[in-house]
Structure 1
Amino acid sequence: MVRVLAKVVALFCACSGSLLFAMGEAPSRRVHIVSPGFFSWNIEPSLSHFAPAVDTGLAEVRRKYPHFNWTSEFLLRDTMRNCSNLRDNIQYELAKWYYTRSYSADDALTVIIAPGCSEARPLSQLAAGWDILLITSVDYTENMADRSEFPTYVTTSPLTPVNAVIFCALFTEMNWTRLYLLHDTGSSPYYGLQASFLPLRIPTNCRVQLTRQQFHSGVKNVSQQLQPILRDFNSKSRVMLYLGNAIGLRDILIEAVKMNMTSGEHVFLTVTTDDSADWLFSWQTMSSDDELIRGAYRAVMLIKLTDTAAISTPSWRGLISQWRTLAEDKYNNTKLQYHLAPQILMAGHIAFELMAEAVHAASQDGWSHPPPSGKLLAEQLLNHTFDLAIGKVHVLGRGQMAVRHVTTCFDLLKGSFMTCFVSNNDALTERFLWDRDANGTWFGGQSFPPDEPQCGFNGQRNTPECASKSSLRDRWLFGVGTAFGVWIVGLAGAFTLRRNMRSSPEWILKADLLVFPNVLVRRQRSCMRHFACLAFAFSNSIAAQ
């Protein structure tokens, strides 16, 4: 009887398993995500600013696709403790992990999801060789549109297309070709990376003449540092791209006001990766120069390098509190002394959701051995729009997430930055473009200044209009110079006449001959000490002659 019952139970289990597989509820398939990197709260592309998004991303994909077994691990090594170490050692350390991992390739699907500090290229080379899906959320490979070289690579970075392309598109829209790049070495490491990479990644068709300079904010001699820099800027361009924190921009503007460079002829471009950064760039700091900065901010254009479309969704706003709690309680960001980078957290969370969509799409007909290839998974994402829990996301054919940035200009009356340009991706060419916002103004007008004065930096451009202005200026200077010369000659003559009059014996009188009947005797000696009395006596003497 026991044997018969055992056979019945075994048959029931086998039938149930077959039925579940036919209904799409196959035995759980494992998807393992590995994230190489390092923890450091003062470096934004580190795992510290990425890990909270791993938790929320995993929670979401487990909720949406519970029939998959989603697992994750951080790959940490002593040889990968900063960006440069990570770039130099990622291939060795990841390969060592890959070939000694505790599971078989037939048992689990491996996916690489990492923020990326500066190691995207060597990381993408490994992923392509192993045919593994790779998603980075911060760093990227500039030519990843070449799908033959990067067939398994996708990025959710809010900084894509590369920043150089973003700036180039704005310069093209404004017809600016001369750019003065000023880096504040006292600001966050992000700006240092941008200052290093930007000159190397500007497209050749941008035709930008780049001048690079740097200073250190927050020190006593910052004024002495900036004065020669601003003079050099004034002699080479009218458009400055400042890479640094808000305090450095304030130092620049204070000196620029002294040199009359905030009246609308000069443009100070600055960059932030935080959509809520308006408070960082506020002119109100309870300082004596607040009103001065408020007026000077009219010469500032603030470029927000973050996906303003995605982060405006209510679901994203709801994740912020979760990320903050995780950062404090799980990842040791005590008292949040380091500002969270929401755009990096958002990109990390999106990477997990997109990965799950790719796995689901590639496994709808069942998951046979081996698991889906990295190339197949990447192809499930390209040129598709996804309605994720965090909002709608579109992945371009080149493997980059379509993002929307804004450039803001300062409204003096409102005392805040207002949108003046909005970015978009051309549907056919996927080119990054900037569109002028109808409400955007520059010093109350619609025209933005050129990158070079009409008559050149020295005012000597050889055109009829500039020649006329130069002639008028020369005549004005000649007139002013002549008048000044006449004034100097007249002044010299007056002093000479006065000296001669003092030494001339013709008008020197004896004191006892001077009679002042209406003046008290005690004041006669005092009066003699004054030039006015002498002049009065001299005039009477002349009249008597």
Structure 2
Amino acid sequence: MSGNGEKPALQSSLQTKRTAMGTRVLTWPLGFENSSSDIENKIKWPTRLESGTGGKSSIARFVKMFTGFLRHFKWTTVGLVCDVKRNPVIRTICQAIRGGLGSSLHTNITMMEVDGFSSDSNFTFVMEELNRQTRVILYWVFGGTFRKCMLAAKDANMTEGNHVHLLNIMLRHPVFGNYFWKYGDTQDELARIAYSTVIIAERDAGDDFPLPGTDRYILREGWRNVSRDKFNTTYGPDVVNFHLTAAYADDNCTSGERVPASKPVGPTGGWRQHCQEAVQSYFPLENRKVWLRSVRFANGLELCDPAIRSV
């Protein structure tokens, strides 16, 4: 992005519709407000945003969360990419989000409809069209579609710090694709680099959402806020609807990989010590210390249960 972060406003006042190889694009004339310089320094951005629980109010919470985030950085020109072909409900959701964000930000939102499962979809066209209109892109797509978008963005030089890629975690599924860069193909390295520019919004199931102020809540937020470019290593390619709760809940206690917290403990208690070191090194909390309660089962396994206490 240029020094002042500006992008010229489009001059045409006419709504246009374009179709390119299975990709439907709706464009509007949008101005581009002077962006914060933080757009060029991703380390200042949160890698994760909490979009609340699911359910009937999830769209309203999502709009409210992203409105506050976008206003903070003075980003008012936004593109929305939606994977609408496999489920018509997604189009309805995207239209509601587009309307809510547009109303809150007092601007029209560019909405692009894609089919991530069609070989005719031209993602290069998608990214080039977005690049002409905005530097901030919100994705409401399946994991496989998102990887195609980010590879196209990498090819279009849209992962160099001049663009903001905001991803909503919609659904993780082995068939529809998980949000993971590694597919075991020749494009893995390009995908890994491209994914390091992504900010994701995480949504918890209602019965899994920890209460604010509790140990689990603080640990979860700590993990998400410090992981930055490590966030993608916690998404296994075959995990179904795994919500990232690493090092705070029952089944994760490591800094880099998703591994069972229940693991044989040696004579020196090595597994618990490993968890302790990993959590403590990644969650430096002022005037507090992470510690691990342990529960030993009859089969000889021990569960690491993170907690927090004042020091």
Greater share of helix: 1
Larger-Rg structure:
1
Q: In which range does the TM-score fall when normalised by the shorter chain?
A: 0.3 to 0.5
